[in-house]
Chain A
Amino acid sequence: MSRFFATGSDSESEESLSFEEAPPKASGGNFKQSLLLSDDEEDTKRVVRSAKDKRFEELTNLIKTIRNAMKIRDMAKCLEEFEQLCRAFLKSKNIVDKEGVPSFYIRLLADLEDYLNQLWEDKEGKKKMNKNNAKALSTLRQKIRKYNRDFEAEITSYKENPQESADEEEEKEEDDSEGSSSESERDDEDGVSAKSFLKKKPEGVSEASKFLKSAKESGDESSSSDDDDDGEGWGEDTEESGSESSGDEEGKSKSLATVFLKKTAGPDRPSIKKSEKKKKIQKVRLEEEQLEGEGEEGDGPWEKVKGGVPLLKEKPKMFAKGTEINTAVVVKKLNEILQARGKKGTDRAAQIDLLHALAAISNENNLGQGILVKIKFNIIASLYDYNPNLAAFMKPDMWKKCLDCIDELLDILFENNNIFIGENIAEDSENLAVSEQQPFRVRGCILTLAERMDEEFTKIMQNTDPHSQEYVDNLKDEGRVCGIIDRLLSYMENKGSTEEICRVYLRRIMHTYYKFDYKAHRRSLGLQGETKSEQDQEESEGEDSAVIMDRLCKFIYAKDRTDRIRTCAILCHIYHHALHSRWYQARDLMLMSHLQDNIQHADPPVQILYNRTMVQLGICAFRQGMIKDAHNALLDIQSSGRAKELLGQGLLMRNMQERNAEQEKIEKRRQVPFHMHINLELLECVYLVSAMLLEIPYMAAHEFDARRRMISKQFHHQLRVGERQPLLGPPESMREHVVAASKAMKMGDWRTCHSFIINEKMNSKVWDLFPETQRVREMLVRKIQEESLRTYLFTYSSVYDSISMQTLSEMFELEIPTVHSIISKMIINEELMASLDQPTQTVVMHRTEPTSLQNMALQLAEKLGSLVENNERIFDLKQGVYGGYFNRDQKGGYQQKQSYQRDQKGSYQQKQGGYQRGGYRNQNQGGY
């Protein structure tokens, strides 16, 4: 810092003095610095000079043409040139900022104004002018007036001292004739500005090093202020202004130091260097096209200097104005940068760097949080913009940056209660300047940014190989994402509108619903067993996810006005309930929501969520032992055979006709990230096992029923596949296990069935995935026993005259009351023709079920019935066409047949009654 100001002074001797000063100060970076400095003597001088020269040459050339135009009174040309000049000046602004406005420029401005005023006054002359020129004159006059306002001070000083300028002008003429070769000369003439520029370069370095050295340097502040006083001589300004500036400087540098201490020190310095390099490269590029962009990009890193020096220079005169300009300037710059956004050929990475730099500047200048927030918004937005298309995902470093930015933004928002942000704040009603009474108003929506961030996260997860370490690493960011959402949530709860709260709640819900709350689970289990202290400790660790879900969802139910958020919230809520085995709540919610009726109108992501919820509901029902409900819930998903697709967990291989690349991309975007997947094998196993528990007894009960329907097509398909196997080895896959178990169950052999369903393999594949493994297994065993008992009774009741319940209970290892209840139920449902003999505890079969042969005969009779019916129809037709074809006898016989048929039907409608004999005989009589 001190050296900065030392070098800032104009004399060569002082510069050397500064060199002497340097070593004791910066002990660490000392050697390097001196190296750098010595380089600067030659090297930087050359480089910077060329940059500066180029600019100045451009300016002088333009000025020359303007002067020429002035001489011939060509106003149109004058206007055109002046506009170019302004642009060129803007472009060389960074140099100008360092140097101060070059005096020849000021001179031109002053002269031009005078000249224009002269012309303006000269009414006659004006009349003589052609229309074009007159028009140009008036516009030019207005423009220059406006423009000169910015340079008021310089112009007045110039006007006070036109002598020098006159001298210069003479020289200028010479210069012009000589062209650009006389650069060094003019530098000397420019004196102050040129030299100070030269010195500024080392100062830039020292400043950079200051960032690194941070606190220590800031401790040197006092000395720096001393140096300030030393250096004040270099400007033409008075002493008081110098002291003023030094005071200002101190505060500013402090804030700067603190900011850089925080974070940006690391990334910022490279960015400076990078952009420096970039600047050089870009110079080579097409000038015309790059004019603006170059200016912007060049400006960014140099802005810092502007923050330091020009302030110093300008402050003395118009302190208040200077700061105000700065806010405005930063906003302007920001807009400039943003204008490049979306344009072709814009370097997006550079843009982000620029914005970062801008943020640093505004920080440095203490422009207040308003502007910072605005810049942050834009940084994040441009981070999102970084990827050209929607499908690509963020690179890890970008992602990290994005997270950091949002975090910082939230920090600021939390620290400063007086910042209002919102989408609906118009650009012009923003209030970015620091002021006591008015709160900041910034356009932008933090919620949208967070939502976008969440989406980006999903995208990253979708595009990472789920079995890699990378995925795990990425997944670790989920905590941060959640943290941000949580913070946002608490922010929104205070500030946001209900809709916004709903949105942020939904985000929170989306990050919660699929996670199993082990803490709460343990707590609910541990209520009996664990020690008191542990419980207390656990209970203090925040609320259950269930409670959170409940609170958030209920808020959304009450407040939400868009249907989609509510639908999603309900589904997530159900899912969460189901995940935590709160079956009744989940089911009631599902039924109350009536989502089943209208879900097909929802958009695909919601449908996927619905499918996920249904599946989870089914699995929950299964855990609770509600086999039928489980089966029903899973039927839709499983029967299609596209469970993977329906759950958004992968694409099915299909031929390209059905789906082109575009659709595939869309579908890929809908995929659920891997960590949210529902295990498909578990799903299928649950489905098949529940189908087995339902289907096998049903099949046994309706073995001979011609009209029996399949409960589960998929299950039957699996059975058929199993039967088709030429060689049956021990089961390997989950399906084979289920098929083998089904076969065992068909025979009523529950032990084998049990061993097929619950064993090592199945445990590791399926059952261990449940949170309450042991309970589920017990439930399953119980179900298997019961259903096996039913199957056994269906299948073998014809063999028994009577069977004691004792035996049955031993066979199936069920308690007698259970056996009793099962059998009673079967009898009541008329599934089993038997009665219970209470004293002996036996089941007495009634033997009313037809034997297989009888069954066959019954089926045949049924078929014949339909055959006859069909035949009749033919006859009806014939009779219609050829009336009276049949004679009476035939008709009679035919009617007899009908009556016979009715008889027959009647006979097996009364199945339960003493059908068999009578019916059978009837049939016989009919048949023969």
Chain B
Amino acid sequence: LKHIKINVVLKIIKHYQEEGQGSEVVQGVLLGLVVDDRLEITNCFPFPQHTEDDADFDEVQYQMEMMRSLRHVNIDHLHVGWYQSTYYGSFVSRALLDSQFSYQHAIEESVVLIYDPIKTAQGSLSLKAYRLTPKLMEICKEKDFTPEGLKKASIGFENMFEEVPIVIKNSHLISVLMWELEDKSTAADKHELLNLSSSNHLEKSLQLLMDRVDDLNQEIVKYNTYSRNLSKQQQQKHQYIQRRQQENAQRQSRGEPPLPEEDITKLFKPPQAPPRMDSLLIAGQINNYCQNVKEFTSQNLGKLFMAEALQGHN
């Protein structure tokens, strides 16, 4: 469970508005503290946008600097994770996995907060917190991405990440202010939530989905050739052993000493298995897209029915 202070949310949104655009991604550091069994995120600061010309920019240095400064003004300065924006829900990637792993490895309670600006723009704030599952952590620790390793860990795309429920909290003063403001404000004229046009969003999602499917396809082909090679080699190995056995039998019958046992693995080097992590990630991403699309379509269907009803009513 997680509690997030509203100012963190606002900061993240602001960060995106200011620096992110289109498919660009913004990232930042979350600060907070662990209370009982829940993590409270009380502050955050953005990573500065990288530019090509200052390559020697030291990020770690910057973070330390930042945290020190924050401590000086008496703000929680414990590093509890990081946040990232996303574009149509595409965030499941190798980079995310790696950095989240390193966070979680260093600071056990770290989370990654994913902010979807597009959905937010449509009227519903989309903020999700994820953690790597312990299983995945183990695998990552061992760096064993072979098919066997993954199979042994019985890990699939659905149990790579676990979502952590979040609660956004305001301070009481802010709540009071909000109440007051709500009374004063006239009826909101925002209708993003009710926007009926869906094809654009869906098309984008589909396009991304298709790209991922293509990727997955490639991965599969790769794996396919691998397994074919493997089986071919198995056969060869098998034949070789048989031949050797026959020869030995003959030799035995002739009273000669059997041929020395050779290291078969040396003769037949097993082909390099393609790392399966990528396909897992892609699958996870596809799953994510599907969830997104599903969510979106179900909402839209509701809206459409509503609109129809309204039309009938009028």
Asked if A139 is an interface residue, CB under 8 A from chain B, the answer is no
Considering the complex, give the chain B residue whose CB is closest to the CB of A852.
B203
Q: By the criterion CB–CB under 8 Å, are A867 and B210 in contact? A: no
A-binding segment of B109-117, B165-173, B226-234: B226-234
Kindly state the separation between the CA atoms of A857 and B210 in the bound complex, as whole angstroms: 9
**Minimal beta-carbon separation of B84 from chain A (angstroms):** 26
**Minimal beta-carbon separation of B171 from chain A (angstroms):** 43
Kindly state the separation between the CA atoms of A853 and B202 in the bound complex, as whole angstroms: 7
Q: By the criterion CB–CB under 8 Å, are A860 and B206 in contact? A: yes
Kindly state the separation between the CA atoms of A877 and B227 in the bound complex, as whole angstroms: 7
Known: A852-B203, A880-B231. A860 touches B220 (CB 8 A): no
Which of chain B's residues 167-221 have a Cβ closer than 8 Å to chain A? 199, 202-203, 206-207, 209-210, 213-214, 216-217, 220-221
Q: By the criterion CB–CB under 8 Å, are A860 and B199 in contact? A: no
Residues of chain A with a CB closer than 8 A to B217's CB: 863, 866-867, 870
Kindly state the separation between the CA atoms of A853 and B210 in the bound complex, as whole angstroms: 12
Known: A851-B199, A863-B213. A857 touches B206 (CB 8 A): yes
Q: Which of B202, B207, B234, B294 contacts A881 (CB 8 A)?
A: B234
Asked if B224 is an interface residue, CB under 8 A from chain A, the answer is yes
Residues of chain B with a CB closer than 8 A to A860's CB: 206, 209-210, 213
Q: By the criterion CB–CB under 8 Å, are B224 and A873 in contact? A: yes
Asked if B103 is an interface residue, CB under 8 A from chain A, the answer is no
Q: By the criterion CB–CB under 8 Å, are A867 and B220 in contact? A: yes
Q: Which of B199, B214, B227, B228 contacts A853 (CB 8 A)?
A: B199
Which of chain B's residues 101-124 have a Cβ closer than 8 Å to chain A? none
Q: By the criterion CB–CB under 8 Å, are B224 and A870 in contact? A: yes
Q: By the criterion CB–CB under 8 Å, are A863 and B220 in contact? A: no
**Minimal beta-carbon separation of B278 from chain A (angstroms):** 15
**Minimal beta-carbon separation of A890 from chain B (angstroms):** 15
Residues of chain A with a CB closer than 8 A to B224's CB: 870, 873-874, 877
Q: Which of A852, A859, A866, A870 contacts B199 (CB 8 A)?
A: A852
Q: By the criterion CB–CB under 8 Å, are A856 and B210 in contact? A: yes
Asked if A864 is an interface residue, CB under 8 A from chain B, the answer is yes
**Minimal beta-carbon separation of A859 from chain B (angstroms):** 6
Considering the complex, give the chain A residue whose CB is closest to the CB of B235.
A881
Q: By the criterion CB–CB under 8 Å, are A856 and B206 in contact? A: yes
Considering the complex, give the chain B residue whose CB is closest to the CB of A867.
B217
Please give the number of chain B residues whose Cβ is less than 8 angstroms from any Cβ of chain A in the complex: 20
Asked if A871 is an interface residue, CB under 8 A from chain B, the answer is yes
Kindly state the separation between the CA atoms of A851 and B199 in the bound complex, as whole angstroms: 10
**Minimal beta-carbon separation of B224 from chain A (angstroms):** 6
Q: By the criterion CB–CB under 8 Å, are A870 and B213 in contact? A: no
Residues of chain A with a CB closer than 8 A to B221's CB: 870
Name B's interface SS. helix
Which of chain A's residues 677-731 have a Cβ closer than 8 Å to chain B? none
Kindly state the separation between the CA atoms of A876 and B143 in the bound complex, as whole angstroms: 29
Known: A856-B210, A860-B209, A871-B220. A881 touches B199 (CB 8 A): no
Known: A853-B203, A871-B220, A874-B220. A881 touches B231 (CB 8 A): yes
Size bracket, chain A contacts = 20 to 34
Q: Which of B202, B203, B228, B294 contacts A877 (CB 8 A)?
A: B228
Q: Which of B207, B220, B228, B234 contacts A870 (CB 8 A)?
A: B220
Number of A-B contacts (CB under 8 A): 47
Residues of chain A with a CB closer than 8 A to B213's CB: 860, 863-864, 867
Interface 0/1 of B54-65, CB less than 8 Å to A? 000000000000
**Minimal beta-carbon separation of A429 from chain B (angstroms):** 78
Kindly state the separation between the CA atoms of A856 and B220 in the bound complex, as whole angstroms: 22
Residues of chain A with a CB closer than 8 A to B202's CB: 853, 856
Residues of chain B with a CB closer than 8 A to A928's CB: 294
Kindly state the separation between the CA atoms of A878 and B227 in the bound complex, as whole angstroms: 8
Q: By the criterion CB–CB under 8 Å, are A859 and B210 in contact? A: yes
Residues of chain B with a CB closer than 8 A to A851's CB: 199
Residues of chain B with a CB closer than 8 A to A857's CB: 206
Q: By the criterion CB–CB under 8 Å, are B227 and A874 in contact? A: yes
Considering the complex, give the chain A residue whose CB is closest to the CB of B211.
A863
Asked if B223 is an interface residue, CB under 8 A from chain A, the answer is yes
Which of chain A's residues 834-872 have a Cβ closer than 8 Å to chain B? 851-853, 856-857, 859-860, 863-864, 866-867, 870-871
Kindly state the separation between the CA atoms of A928 and B227 in the bound complex, as whole angstroms: 31
Residues of chain A with a CB closer than 8 A to B228's CB: 877
Considering the complex, give the chain B residue whose CB is closest to the CB of A873.
B224
Q: Which of B206, B207, B214, B223 contacts A874 (CB 8 A)?
A: B223
Residues of chain A with a CB closer than 8 A to B220's CB: 867, 870-871, 874
Considering the complex, give the chain B residue whose CB is closest to the CB of A860.
B210
Residues of chain A with a CB closer than 8 A to B207's CB: 856
Considering the complex, give the chain A residue whose CB is closest to the CB of B219.
A870
**Minimal beta-carbon separation of B281 from chain A (angstroms):** 16
Residues of chain B with a CB closer than 8 A to A867's CB: 213, 216-217, 220
Which of chain B's residues 23-50 have a Cβ closer than 8 Å to chain A? none
Residues of chain B with a CB closer than 8 A to A864's CB: 213
Considering the complex, give the chain B residue whose CB is closest to the CB of A881.
B231
Kindly state the separation between the CA atoms of A873 and B221 in the bound complex, as whole angstroms: 9
Considering the complex, give the chain A residue whose CB is closest to the CB of B214.
A863
Kindly state the separation between the CA atoms of A928 and B291 in the bound complex, as whole angstroms: 11
Considering the complex, give the chain B residue whose CB is closest to the CB of A924.
B297
Considering the complex, give the chain B residue whose CB is closest to the CB of A853.
B199
Residues of chain B with a CB closer than 8 A to A866's CB: 217
**Minimal beta-carbon separation of A878 from chain B (angstroms):** 7
**Minimal beta-carbon separation of A858 from chain B (angstroms):** 10
Kindly state the separation between the CA atoms of A204 and B220 in the bound complex, as whole angstroms: 102
Interface 0/1 of B239-268, CB less than 8 Å to A? 000000000000000000000000000000
Kindly state the separation between the CA atoms of A339 and B150 in the bound complex, as whole angstroms: 91
Residues of chain B with a CB closer than 8 A to A874's CB: 220, 223-224, 227
Kindly state the separation between the CA atoms of A874 and B216 in the bound complex, as whole angstroms: 13
Kindly state the separation between the CA atoms of A857 and B207 in the bound complex, as whole angstroms: 9
**Minimal beta-carbon separation of A894 from chain B (angstroms):** 15
**Minimal beta-carbon separation of A871 from chain B (angstroms):** 6
Q: By the criterion CB–CB under 8 Å, are A853 and B206 in contact? A: yes
Known: A870-B224, A881-B234. A856 touches B214 (CB 8 A): no
Q: Which of A863, A878, A881 contacts B210 (CB 8 A)?
A: A863
Considering the complex, give the chain B residue whose CB is closest to the CB of A874.
B224
Q: What are some 19 contacts across the A-B interface (CB < 8 A)?
A: A851-B199, A852-B199, A853-B202, A856-B206, A859-B210, A863-B217, A867-B216, A867-B220, A870-B217, A870-B220, A873-B224, A874-B220, A874-B223, A874-B227, A877-B227, A880-B231, A881-B231, A881-B234, A928-B294
Other A-B pairs beyond A867-B216, A870-B221, A877-B224, 18, CB < 8 Å:
A852-B203, A853-B203, A856-B206, A856-B207, A859-B210, A860-B209, A863-B210, A863-B213, A866-B217, A867-B217, A870-B217, A870-B220, A870-B224, A873-B224, A874-B220, A874-B224, A874-B227, A877-B227
Residues of B within 8 A of A (CB): 199, 202-203, 206-207, 209-210, 213-214, 216-217, 220-221, 223-224, 227-228, 231, 234, 294
What 8 A-B pairs are tightest by C-beta distance, nearest first? A870-B220, A856-B206, A863-B213, A853-B199, A877-B227, A867-B217, A860-B210, A873-B224
